[in-house]
Structure 1
Amino acid sequence: MLRLDVVAMPLALARIASILAHRQFNVLTMDVAAPVDGLRRITIEVDTADELGLERLVKCLNRAPDVVKVVRFSDDTSHHRRGAFVAVAFPEGRLAEVVAIARAFSAEVVEAGRTRCTVFAAAEPAQVDALVDALSGFTIRELMMAAPLRMPRFLRKGHTAVDRAHTWRRS
């Protein structure tokens, strides 16, 4: 998982995408935030187990003229959450079962009718996947998952997550 701070200029996103394509990385998710103070935050989840290739990608991104900062997050140094909306259809009278499943996974029913409802969950990706599996006994009409969110962990005094988050800055 990479988080980039990029100058909010036309074609900056296209240049980032072309770097990823040129290096032949499979992008799982890419989330582009609205510009704030002239910078745009881009979160990219790439599918790779190749540490050396990922290191090279980070160096290549750092050399891009639009990139201000690249932060690499790993599973052990960051909190990882994913949001999902699940639209579920079910036979009349079975709403209570869907609500019970949603509560078991700390999810929320945001809209409900006699034969369909929408469930929202924001949790670790494995828990969101388990919720979807539990609801698969009903008819899932629509599933919308947001790009994953990551934030560095703040540890007790003497331990710093930022030191282990592999932060690279431009000089």
Structure 2
Amino acid sequence: MLRIDVVAMPLAITRVTSIMAQRQFDVVTMDVAAPVDGLRRITVEVDTADEIRLDRLVKFLNRSPDVVKVAHLADEQSHTRREVFATITFPEGRLADAVAIAQAFSAEIVDADRTRCTVFAAAEPARVDALVKALSGFTVRDLVMTSPLRIPRVPRKGHQW
């Protein structure tokens, strides 16, 4: 997972993504934040296990005039969360079952009536995937998931990664 800070200019994101495309990287997820202080933060998950290729990509990105900073966020050095909204329908009288599943996954029912409800959760990606699988016993009418969001962990005193 890479976190790329780029200048908030037209076409800056296009130029960054074209660098990845030219190097034949498959982008799994990409999240682009709104501009803050003239910068946009892009969080990109690329499909590669080759650290040498990834280091080369970081070097190419750093050469771009649009890129201010690139950070590689390793799994053990960062927190990852994903959000999901799932609207499900069910036979009348089964709302309690849906609520029980939501509570088991620390999810929240944000809208409900006799035959449908909307569940919201923000958790680690594996936990969100497990929630969606548990809800598949009902009829899933709408499902919206964010790409994984990642932020570096705060280092503890005397702890090295």
With the length of structure 1 as denominator, give the TM-score of the two structures. Answer: 0.91
Give the corresponding residue for 1:70.
70
Question: Where in structure 2 are there 5+ consecutive unaligned residues?
Answer: none
Q: Secondary structure at the match of 1:127?
A: helix
Task: Measure how far apart 1:88 and its partner are.
Answer: 0.7
Give the corresponding residue for 2:151.
151
Q: Secondary structure at the match of 1:92?
A: coil
Q: Supply the distance in 1 between the matched residues of 2:113 and 2:45 (Cα, whole angstroms).
A: 36
Give the corresponding residue for 2:90.
90
| Identical aligned residues as a percent | 71
Aligned residue identity for 1:128: V
Task: Measure how far apart 1:74 and its partner are.
Answer: 1.0
Task: Measure how far apart 1:147 and its partner are.
Answer: 1.6
Q: Which string of whole-angstrom CA distances, capped at 9 and with x for unpartnered residues, describes residues 63-108 of structure 1?
A: 1110000011111111111011111111111011000000000000
Give the corresponding residue for 1:168.
none
Q: Supply the distance in 2 between the matched residues of 1:97 and 1:127 (Cα, whole angstroms).
A: 19
Question: Where in structure 1 are there 5+ consecutive unaligned residues?
Answer: 165-171
Q: Which string of whole-angstrom CA distances, capped at 9 and with x for unpartnered residues, describes residues 10-66 of structure 1?
A: 110110110111111111111111111111111111111111111111111111110
Task: Measure how far apart 1:120 and its partner are.
Answer: 0.5
- Moved >4 Å (runs of 4+): none
Task: Measure how far apart 1:155 and its partner are.
Answer: 3.5
Give the corresponding residue for 2:31.
31
Q: Supply the distance in 2 between the matched residues of 1:10 and 1:28 (Cα, whole angstroms).
A: 23
Give the corresponding residue for 1:57.
57
What CA RMSD, in Å, does the superposition of the two structures yield over aligned residues? 1.0
With the length of structure 2 as denominator, give the TM-score of the two structures. Answer: 0.96
Aligned residue identity for 1:28: V
Q: Secondary structure at the match of 1:85?
A: strand
Matches within 5 A, 1:92-131: 92-131=92-131
Aligned residue identity for 1:47: D
